[in-house]
Amino acid sequence: MMDGTDTKPQDLASTIGKIRKRDGKVVEFQTTKITNAIYKALLATKRPDYALAERLAEKVVQRLIKHGFNAGNIPGVEDVQDIVETVLIDEGLADTAKAYILYRHERRRIREEKMKILERSTLDEVDKALSTNSLRVLASRYLLRDESGKIVESPKQMFERVAILITIPDMLRDSRVFMLNGTFKRDDLAKVEHYLENLDGFDGRYSIGAYRMNKWHVESMLRLYRELASQGRMRVGIDEMLSMLENREFDAYEKRVEEYYRLMVEMYFLPNSPTLMNAGARLGQLSACFVLPIHDDLASIMKTATDAALIFKSGGGVGINYSNLRPEGDIVASTSGVASGPVSFMRIVDTTTEVVKQGGKRRGANMGILEVWHPDIEKFITAKTKPGVLENFNVSVGVWSDFVDAVKGNEKYALRNPRNGKVVGYVDARQLIELIAISAWQSAEPGMLFLDNMNRYNVMKDVQGLIRATNPCGEQSLYPYESCNLGSINLAELVKRRADGSYEFDWQRYEQVIRLATRFLDNVIDVSKYPIDEIDRATKASRRIGLGIMGLADLLYMLRIPYNSKEGYELMNRLAEALTYYSMDESVEIAKSRGAFPLYNESGYVQGKLPVGGYYELAREEHTQDWDALIEKIKRYGIRNSQTTTVAPTGTLSMIADCSGGIEPTFALVYEKHVTVGKFYYTNRILEEVLKGMGMYSDELLQRIAENYGSVKGLDEVPEEVQRVFVTAMDIHWADHIMAQAVWQRWISNAIAKTINMPSDVTAEDVRCSYLLAHELGLKGITVFRDGSRQQQVLHITGESRVKRFDAVPSNYAIEYIRRYVKDGSLLKEIEAAILKGNRVKGSRGYALSTMGSEGEILCPLCKSRLVFAEGCNTCMNCGWSSCIVS
């Protein structure tokens, strides 16, 4: 009610109609934006009253009209903000007015900082929506630059560049130009080659609706056309195809470009880093990582090093299993000399990595694998215990079930020469796994790959044999020359707010995003420019993709569910099952129109097998999806991708999306962050919202949390419910870390990047038990990180006044689960003894981040800031640098 009339707020807003933004653009006037700004000011002054904010916003609109603003006299943003201040003061809310003025000043500071980061004088809607941190990461690694190093595109243009490229495979499968069954003979492929050699004339010539294609988009389109035409699948010649494009006959695909664009820009999904960097750009290499073979001859060794160099140059990382190489000291008949062994040849690739900058941006990354039966296994295990050795490698021991059985039985284990398969000696299996554990306790390496678990449900082993290697971070099992094409869904964006302000997960939207992201990744395979021909062929033979997630910890915070709880694990189980089910179901839908992956007829799918452990290991009544119906669909139509899901590292991607990484718990709720003008406390955005809503938010509390290793555990002033829900990585017992990975692994067809965090005073025996537990629970690999390992002098993320107030203990659910699934009685006793020791954690329990700058230094190579170790990767929380190619 106003002035005796019954005018509604939306009617008042329509009276004004438009508002002029700072960049001069005129957009629709929205009262809700005023309401939200006022509410933030009320929240800052401990008056979280949204209804009051709405009433005050209505008064602001009334004042605007009274001042003569209307459709013919459009107000500017500053006009509106000035009146907001006046209304707040007139209403007796001087403290709120002050908070609003400070908020206004902070917004101005942020705008200026964003423009400086992006080297621009104006900001578009995407720049404004993304956080400063996100823009800083994009500017440092992803946005295209000219030869002088100047940024030449905005984040919006980057996402458009990627979306246009990813739409090209959809466009070329249009029924007017493509036919799956039948053969069309084309004799103009030479013309395609001519066009590929003269791309400059195509730059900006064609468009898909409003989206203009650059010459690199056209190059990818021509390469894909050439491939499909050579298979006899294209109905039209290349000139007719280009003529149709020029005549705007494919403009309907503008909607698909928009879908892929919105998927990324609204942060529902992001592809792996090489796709963001290189899609629609000169390099054109979109895959994150590759596996290369190596055989026991010099020609193969040098070819592998050469192929690795080409991969590093294109922006990828490499995994290599060195077990085929004869051991150190073995005879070399051709030279009458002796072999130098696998570790020495790893140094060749390590040096190659050092000198070949990855995509011109950073050095590449490697995974070095040696299987446990190799005579050089002890030298391999201890290779990285000293700083400066194989610095460009992650190393993992490949373990088969016979070794685990020997450990359980306290037996000797045979070592075999790969040159002839002969047994050359025996080791004590228990002593060897203790050596692995001691090395990991000391240096966080090696990791372990459980090759039997990796192959248990491998639907490709009948046609491709056993899989024996992974990418550098260990989450993607690959055959020689295969690539990993990865992307992650942001779970934290898939929530709906209820009327009472609480959140619920949007399962319908989750399915929609899974399906679109699956198509996105399948298209990546078609338009990626692979560094060597063998990779092109192997990747397209299996069409393996890896759709994963990020933002799990933030989602759990919003739903008020503790990570290490029965409810938390049950939600993880359902999320993981839906991810693989809907991605596989969508892969079947794609196969209907594009065909199954080429090796499908020789795979286990034709016998009704699935690469999913949960289907076999859980009772049918525990399934939430109809897997038997999916099997029948696959047998009828085939499936487009041999595997579809992977939980990859998302360190940098999650910084862009402003969410937690992968399936990891948050590493710290509050920590000091250093910037050019000083330092400030970074606070988890969800905790900040909760604390402000409770009227508890203050700099003093933030400091207390930071000095508690970034945790709210044990702080008397923090309510018990907040302590229960807002857990961090080091609040959680290592058994629960393994538990979480096991829950996800049941339903993920590839593997998972996760760090099993342990406090500083665990023993090597604890590490050994964690390995055996991981194997028993079906993990495909494990990376253990003990707080304080790797560095001699540790600098934590918090100040020197930190105080430990609690111990991490295993959840009852994890204990019950372990007792249910570990069948070996004596092994169960060992594991129980390790995890039920009681409160034994003394002293430092925070993340080990970096050194003080002395021996063993681990600092960010770009900004020299502190690193955190999560998802198996070193990641800089300041600039976004990551040691993992994927993230």
Question: Catalytic amino acids?
Answer: 471, 473, 475
646 neighbors 747 (Cβ within 8 angstroms): no
How far is residue 267's CA from residue 488's CA, in Å, rounded to a whole number?
Answer: 10
Instruction: Report the alpha-carbon distance of residue 444 to residue 883 in Å, rounded.
Output: 15
| Cα maximum dimension of the chain | 106
Which residues, including other chains, have CB under 8 Å from residue 754's CB and lie 6 or more apart?
A: 647, 662, 663, 664, 737, 740, 741, 783, 871, 872
Helix (H) or strand (E) run with residue 454 in it: helix 451-456
Q: CB of 443 within 8 A of CB of 720?
A: no
Bridge partner residues of 309 (DSSP): none
Count of CA atoms in the C-beta half-sphere (13 A) of 880 = 23
Helix or strand holding residue 675 (H, E): strand 670-675
- Beta strands 781-786 and 755-758, pairing class: parallel
Q: How far apart are CA 450 and CA 405, in angstroms?
A: 13
- Pairwise CA distance, residues 307 & 320, whole Å: 12
Closest CA relative to residue 647, chosen from 755, 767, 509: 755
Q: Which helix (H) or strand (E) holds 129?
A: helix 125-129
Helices 9-16 and 50-66, packing angle to 10 deg: 40
Give the C-alpha separation, 616 to 458, whole Å: 13
Q: How many Cβ atoms from other residues are within 10 Å of residue 4's Cβ? A: 5
Give all strands (DSSP E) within 777-859, no chain letters.
781-786, 794-795, 850-851
Q: What is the C-alpha separation between 559 and 507, in angstroms, rounded? A: 14
At residue 299's C-alpha, the angle toward residues 295 and 304, to 5°, is 65
- Tell the residue number behind the tokens 């959809």, with chain if given: 170
Q: What is the DSSP code string of 710-730?
A: T--TT-TTS-HHHHHHS-BGG
Measured distance CA(612)–CA(610) in Å, rounded? 5
Any idea what DSSP says for residue 620? Answer: G
Give the helix/strand (H/E) hosting 501: none
CA gap 776, 485 in Å, rounded:
29
Closest CA to 297 of 328, 351, 343, 334: 334
3-state secondary structure of 826: helix
- Contact (Cβ atoms closer than 8 angstroms) between residue 350 and residue 393: yes
